[in-house]
Structure 1
Amino acid sequence: MEFFDADGMTIAYAVEGAGSPLLLAHGFASTHRVNWVDTGWVKALTGAGYRVIMPDMRGHGESSKSHEKEDYTLSAMAGDLVALLDHLGEPGADLMGYSMGAMVALVAAMEYPERFDRIIAAGVGAKLLDPNRDPGPVIEALLTNDPSSVESKGALLFRTFADQNRQDRVALAACFEAVRAPFPVEGLARIRRPVLVVAGETDVQAGEAAPLAARIPGARAYTVPKRDHMRTVGDKAYKEAVLAYLAE
């Protein structure tokens, strides 16, 4: 891993391959390795001629882990992506994010349209349009000393994933509270970059891809058959859809 400073945060990142730059933003409680390397994405993308740039998002992996929710706004994390491009001397790149990373990618497309070409927002859908996204159950699951007491299956899934990846759960709780604030849906209509929205057919956390894509001018939606939120990430059909989209 390599490191650089972004707005007082140390951001860890890795770069693989050569060719057209593609920036990858991983999901909540994950890392660049878990989201992109272990799932076969790096092999697929570098084999297709892309130079993949993969940060550990702030609060995750080997990057700085603040315990203050104010440090985890989607705008702040979008700024980290731009700072990483600046650090690498890249004027622009394609951008793909998964789940939390997709939220960051969409905000980056709103706030820095000159820096990103094509956007792939995966692991998100209609649920992002809901202003009432209660972070409480997941925060409680992350902070409890007794995971067996967690009643919500969805919240327990995040807790288990965080533990598997040896994350700082206090930092993750602060991050989750911030990213579950109402998404700036009014900004979707201002996006002028090509966008592909991807969600699994049975992904109840994201919801359907099409309603979200419909709010973005010219965006397209792709549904990964028979996949939920966790199983979509490394799915072959998801990879094929993205590679076809990037090859257009």
Structure 2
Amino acid sequence: MTAPILEHVTAVDGTKLAVHRLGAGRPVVMLHGLFSSAEVNWIKFGTAQKVADAGFDVIMPDLRAHGLSEAPHGEYSSAVLVDDLKDVIAHYQLSGFDLVGFSLGARTVLNAVLAGVQPERLAVVGMGWEGLVGWDKRIAFFVDAIDRFDDIRMGDPAFFAVSFMKTQKVDRAAARALLTSLSGTDLSNLSAVTMPTKVINGAKDNDNGSAQTLVEKLPNATYAEIPGTHMSCVSEPALGETLVEFLSR
């Protein structure tokens, strides 16, 4: 297993974003999920290695306030994660690239396409229709978990979110600022998502609602089910295998 190279990209507001790169060939940018990192979602369980071995330059930013990226406090713009993605694409002068996102990363790559970013292929992992429609409720749940961080015990619906934040050593002030800044997805223009799209979801993952419904709402999407829950599906070999099959077409 090859260790990724750690690089840095400076976002337009000066925030330094950590970027992990592995492999060579056609570029694919992969965004991780909330409170996680490129290491946890893509590298640790071998997904990035599978994609790199298939002939791809795998580019994995840590979202701001996550992983090894800087976590400035204060207000962010409502499109800050899309803007950061655009800065990464511009920094590497990417063309003919693909986009992959998991959970919050899935929402971000979809929002980026709606904002004019044009990958040749798009993979949306761990995201369903209700996760987009009910974005405000999802945000409220995680903000509440941050606000009650020290008081949450086993049995509380937010217990596992808090446990994961502790494991990841999340900067809660920066994460809260990021979450409360983000706007919902403009679902009126899904016809703009014309590129081949693969919606991938764990068989026991209901965290963001119906992935099948999301497939039906997108003009050029197909569905793939892999084993696992929302948390565990990123550890499944099937994730890397499904991505390689889709991206290699």
- TM superposition score normalised by structure 1: 0.89
Aligned to 2:233: 232
Task: For 1:40, give the aligned amino acid.
Answer: G
Aligned to 1:59: 65
* Seq. identity, %: 28
Task: For 1:105, give the aligned amino acid.
Answer: V
SS at match of 1:146: helix
Aligned to 1:109: 113
Q: CA deviation at 1:37?
A: 0.7
Aligned to 1:247: 248
Q: CA deviation at 1:121?
A: 0.5
SS at match of 2:235: coil
Q: CA deviation at 1:242?
A: 1.6
Structure 2: distance between partners of 1:118 and 1:50: 13
Task: For 2:10, give the aligned amino acid.
Answer: D
Structure 1: distance between partners of 2:216 and 2:21: 33
Aligned to 1:162: 165
- Superimposed CA distance per residue, residues 66-85 of structure 1 (whole angstroms, 9 cap, x where no aligned partner): 334534x3x32122122112
Ranges of 4+ aligned residues in structure 1 off by more than 4 Å: none
1:5 and 2:19 are equivalent in the alignment: no
Q: 1:224 to 1:61 in 2, by over 3 A?
A: same
Q: 1:199 touches 1:224 (CA, 8 Å); kept in 2? A: yes
1:29 and 2:32 are equivalent in the alignment: no
Q: 2:82 touches 2:112 (CA, 8 Å); kept in 1? A: yes
Q: CA deviation at 1:60?
A: 0.9
Q: CA deviation at 1:198?
A: 1.1
Structure 2: distance between partners of 1:78 and 1:22: 16
Aligned to 1:177: 180
Structure 2: distance between partners of 1:85 and 1:125: 26
Structure 1: distance between partners of 2:224 and 2:141: 29
Task: For 1:19, give the aligned amino acid.
Answer: G
Structure 2: distance between partners of 1:68 and 1:222: 39
1:206 and 2:205 are equivalent in the alignment: no
Q: 2:29 touches 2:58 (CA, 8 Å); kept in 1? A: yes
Q: CA deviation at 1:131?
A: 3.6
SS at match of 1:230: coil
Q: CA deviation at 1:237?
A: 2.2
Structure 1: distance between partners of 2:200 and 2:32: 14
Task: For 1:230, give the aligned amino acid.
Answer: M
Q: 1:92 to 1:10 in 2, by over 3 A?
A: farther
- Which shifted more, 26-35 or 132-141? 132-141
Aligned to 1:196: 198
Structure 1: distance between partners of 2:201 and 2:149: 32
Aligned to 1:70: 76
Q: CA deviation at 1:151?
A: 5.4
Q: 1:113 touches 1:191 (CA, 8 Å); kept in 2? A: no
Which sections of structure 1, spanning at least 5 residues, go unmatched? none
Task: For 1:6, give the aligned amino acid.
Answer: A
Task: For 2:205, give the aligned amino acid.
Answer: D
- Superimposed CA distance per residue, residues 45-82 of structure 1 (whole angstroms, 9 cap, x where no aligned partner): 111111100111111122221334534x3x32122122
1:41 and 2:47 are equivalent in the alignment: yes
Which sections of structure 2, spanning at least 5 residues, go unmatched? 1-5
Structure 2: distance between partners of 1:150 and 1:173: 22
